[in-house]
A and B are shown apart, each in its own frame.
Chain A
Amino acid sequence: GQQLNQSPQSMFIQEGEDVSMNCTSSSIFNTWLWYKQEPGEGPVLLIALYKAGELTSNGRLTAQFGITRKDSFLNISASIPSDVGIYFCAGQSLGETSGSRLTFGEGTQLTVNP
């Protein structure tokens, strides 16, 4: 099956620092999604990317769809305590039909120290 590697697994940072995390795939994706999950809650969609090279921002968050279609990164600028949570990437492979499965990364646990 497909593999999606997300790194780092965890990050401990000080409030105000910038954060970067990324995902790489063994196969080509035509969609990349980034989610945030807080304890005991469902993942919330942060950013969706649909075209290679696409760079999209959502407030302090910026994500890019890699040119090779096999990677994506998420940056958080000027982190604040409420950024704490688990961030997941997810991708849909080229050739998969709509409504088929996504491949999820293992998640990056972010801790922000005030």
Chain B
Amino acid sequence: DGGITQSPKYLFRKEGQNVTLSCEQNLNHDAMYWYRQDPGQGLRLIYYSQIVNDFQKGDIAEGYSVSREKKESFPLTVTSAQKNPTAFYLCASSILRGGTDTQYFGPGTRLTVL
């Protein structure tokens, strides 16, 4: 089946540790995105990438890093510099066509830092 997968679904880490969240898509989409969602709130953009080996900061990039070595993969690292990392993290992708940007989301990873 085509789609976006995120793993793991739940992740627990100790404070001060870096952690990497996986996002893979087999939709042949060009662009990929990472969002953070806190309880009762909307989505905030962390990083996005339109093409392999290139990415841009979103609104809340501090304390996060990404890479885009392959078209289908866009892992997100939550570093120890992120002051409040506990949140629900969502990955999305979109195909670049005709000036529109219809994004499709993965199932999310809930990160809890103890």
Q: List the interface of chain A (C-beta within 8 A of B).
A: 1, 30-31, 33, 35, 40-45, 48, 50, 88, 90, 92, 96-102, 104-107
Nearest-CB distance from B74 to chain A (Å)? 12
Q: List the interface of chain B (C-beta within 8 A of A).
A: 4, 6, 30-31, 33, 41-43, 45, 48, 50, 58-59, 88, 90, 92, 94, 96-108, 110
B42 touches A33 (CB 8 A): no
Total A-B residue pairs with C-beta atoms closer than 8 Å? 71
B50 touches A40 (CB 8 A): no
B102 touches A48 (CB 8 A): yes
Question: Counting chain A CB atoms within 10 Å of each CB, which of B58, B88, B90, B99 scores highest?
Answer: B99
Measured between beta carbons, the chain A residues less than 8 angstroms from B41 are: 106-107
B48 touches A44 (CB 8 A): no
Taking chain B's interface residues, is the majority helix, strand, or loop, or is none over half, making it mixed?
strand
Question: Counting chain A CB atoms within 10 Å of each CB, which of B42, B88, B97 scores highest?
Answer: B42
Q: Which of B43, B101, B110 contacts A88 (CB 8 A)?
A: B43
B107 touches A30 (CB 8 A): no
A31 touches B102 (CB 8 A): yes
Measured between beta carbons, the chain B residues less than 8 angstroms from A105 are: 42
A33 touches B103 (CB 8 A): yes
